[in-house]
Amino acid sequence: MKNFKYYALMLLLAGSFAFAQPVPAPSSKPDIELTKDEATLRIEEFMKIVKGLEDRLAELNNKHTTLKTDLDKINKSIKDCRDELNALIGASDADVAAFRQRLGVLEGKVREMQRLSEDKLLERQEDVKKLEAELNELRGNKIALLPEFYNKIIALAKDIRGLYREKKITTYTVGTWAENRDCLWNIAGKIEIYGDFFMWPKIWQANTDQIRNPDIIHPGQVLQIPVKGAKTSEEIKAERKYWRNKKAAQTDAVPGGTN
């Protein structure tokens, strides 16, 4: 019975393989009730099943060995081809790895720029030019000709070109107060300008060459109108300074006021 238990255990272990076959029970009698001949027959049947599983395992191991050998040959062919390409462009594996890393970093920068709003992107056109210059430097390297990088670089160049924006500067000619009620506040509030009175600092800061005091503009002045968008940090800073000066002037104008 010890032999029977050993072979039964072997069968259970073999059954854990994916290719294991269902184990038919020779009979429904419990092991303890088997006669000697019946136990011998059952063991022989189990041994046949185990032998079949062992043969199947050996077959699969042979296939695995063959496939591994084929894979090793393919990997060697790939390496030989890569070495030949590297020799043609005069680069080592380390050079190619460094190039790959630089290209990956550049791709990350471009993706970051693509997530910017139109206004932010318009403000960072110099950064876009730097990205293009960096890409052109990479394109000048012979490593860029490798199949791994060629299509990536073409796609990246297209993405960078898509980041360029032109400043759409329009102008507005100041009318008279009596007829047009023109001041920076009212001009910014015009629908065709910003439709928002509070955007007046944008017009002021774009025309500091001809507007010293934002409270005073003159008929006939041709003002540059920046594109619509949130106020920049410089425009906000100028506006805050304007209101501080305004408040200080009003305080000085009140009798008994303090500086």
DSSP assignment string, 166-195: ----EEEE---HHHH---HHHHHHSTTTTS
Question: Is residue 78 in some structural domain?
Answer: no
The pTM score is 0.46
SS3 label, residue 148: helix
Same structural domain, 156 and 182: no
Domain extent for 112: 93-161
Angle (nearest 5°) at CA 139 between 127 and 75: 125
Q: Which of 55-64, 124-133, 250-259 has the lowest mean pLDDT?
A: 250-259
Q: Where are the beta strands (DSSP E) in the chain?
A: 170-173, 222-225
Least confident of 13-17, 73-77, 189-193, 232-236: 13-17
The residue behind tokens 């906000």 is 236
62 in any annotated domain: no
State the first-to-last Cα distance of the chain, in angstroms, to the nearest integer.
110
Q: Inform me whether the pLDDT recorded for 24 exceeds 50.
A: no
Quick one: pLDDT at residue 251? 81
Domain termination residue (choose one: 117, 134, 161): 161
Tokens of 107: 């791709």
Q: For CA atoms 211, 215, 218, 224, give the dihedral sign.
A: positive
* Domains in the chain, number: 3
Residue 75 resides in a domain: no
CA distances from 22 to 14, 46, 50 (A): 11, 12, 12
Domain end (from 137, 161, 185): 161
Question: 142 lies in a domain?
Answer: yes
pLDDT of residue 27 exceeding 60, the answer is: no
Same domain, yes or no: 149 and 191: no
Last residue of a domain, one of 115, 135, 161: 161
On whether residue 65 sits in a domain, the answer given is no
